[in-house]
Amino acid sequence: MNQNFESKVIIINSIFGNLLDFSSRDVFDEFKELVLSSEAEIIEEFNFNQKKINSKYFIGKGKLEEIKKVVDKQNINLIIFNHNLSPSQERNIESFLKTRVLDRTGLILDIFAKRAFSHIGKLQVELAQLNHLSTRLVRGWSHLERQKGGIGLRGPGETQLETDRRLISQRITNIKKRLEKSHQQKNLNRYARKKGRSHTVGIVGYTNAGKTTLFNKLTGSKEFEADKLFATLDTVTRKNLVPGSESIIYVDTVGFISDLPTTLIESFKATLDDLKSADLLLHVVDVSDKNFKNKIHEVNKVLSEIKADDIPQILVRNKIDINDYDENDVITPINSVAVSAKEGIGIETLKDLVSNHANRGLFRGKLFINFRNSKLRSECYRKAKIFEDKELNNGWLLDLTIGNNDLKKILFFDGVEIICLLYTSPSPRD
């Protein structure tokens, strides 16, 4: 199949020392996936070992000359670094190579701009882009330093650069106001959910771990799924009714990545706040990835940065269908579950764990309710999963599963008693 590429690019990665761990080689492989996601054609890749960062060019001048030969020969129109460059380094490299230069943050921002579809998502991406751009206005183009002139405009005036900075600053202020308004609305929505006894479950994980596929399986939704980085940018919420709880609100969020730009974390405050207010997090991990343990650490690091690391987690080990998975390799069942979101394996077990948490544990057994409390019987049908409803001489015998929270409320009334306890499961919060 033919692919239309937007740019012919050279990608560059520098390894400081001889470290070939997750922070070097594997991140570079991930970086290449990012580049391909941006619809660029990789013509050449360079891996350099260097002791320290060159303050002017990030890499040594000799290495730049090596790159320039390829640029001139292959007619390269973009150089992408797997590192964050300072504005001056970016300018100096562009001046030397006579072609555009993009760093890791700029690349991620570009991908985000393509994947944002909602109004709020687009505003968040634009804010991150403007914050990034504001330090990179001076790129050697002379027109930016020109002063305004003409009738009525003479005098001290302001340079074009100053004008651009002022306009960007105004736009940033405007976007922040609109996002803050959205943030306040989200807070009201979250308050309403809490008041209505809804239990919020945030789905988090490294990018391309299978979060949206899992979200669709849990909710019966049909959100866009794709085997590529950052397929989901906009927060999606869906309600799912479970026994013993009014409802479960599942929240699908943007995937994380190593060295996630600070500007993105700040800009996506409205999205990430959905996680901070969650009652439970499903941390989705692609166990077919040999570096999944390192990626768990990266996700937990971001959760710590946004102050969501104290929220209870269930580790969801996804994609067991494409991995040599050992069923005996079991982490504490209450905190971990093995699934294949694509094939539907383990989904019911995960739903039970979520329901267990939402209801502070589940009661499974038989409950007697006398005829005087017919309203409680109706309440059980609304909040519990009924397996059998048997009418006796003086009441009903219900074989059911119900949340401990609701069971305590029902047992408060006279004429209600537990006849048979099959099992009761405590919640991780107890």
Residue 325 CA, distance from chain mean position: 25
pLDDT at 138 over 60: no
Evaluate whether 338 touches 314 at the Cβ level (below 8 Å).
Answer: no
| This model's pTM is above 0.85 | no
Sheet holding 361-370: strands in order across? 385-391, 395-403, 361-370, 416-426
**What CA–CA distance (Å, rounded) separates 209 from 316?**
10
Evaluate whether 369 touches 412 at the Cβ level (below 8 Å).
Answer: no
- The confidence score (pLDDT) of residue 171 equals 85
Residue 234 CA, distance from chain mean position: 9
**Tokens linked to 11:** 């990608």
Alpha carbon distances (Å) from 61 to 58, 65, 68, 140: 9, 6, 10, 19
Residue 402 CA, distance from chain mean position: 32
Q: How many CA atoms lie within 13 A of 76 on its CB side?
A: 26
Per-residue pLDDT reduced to its tens digit, 189-216: 655 555 555 678 888 888 778 888 888 8
| Sequential DSSP letters for 248-280 | EEEEE-PPB-TT--HHHHHHTHHHHHHHHT-SE
Which of residues 282 and 209 earns the better pLDDT score?
282
Q: Find the DSSP H helices in 306-398.
A: 347-358, 374-383
**Domains of the chain from N-terminus onward:** 7-102 (3.40.50.11060), 197-357 (3.40.50.300), 360-426 (3.30.70.240)
Kindly state the DSSP code that residue 411 receives in the 8-state scheme: H
- The confidence score (pLDDT) of residue 215 equals 87
Per-residue pLDDT reduced to its tens digit, 311-348: 888 899 998 887 655 554 444 445 788 899 888 888 88
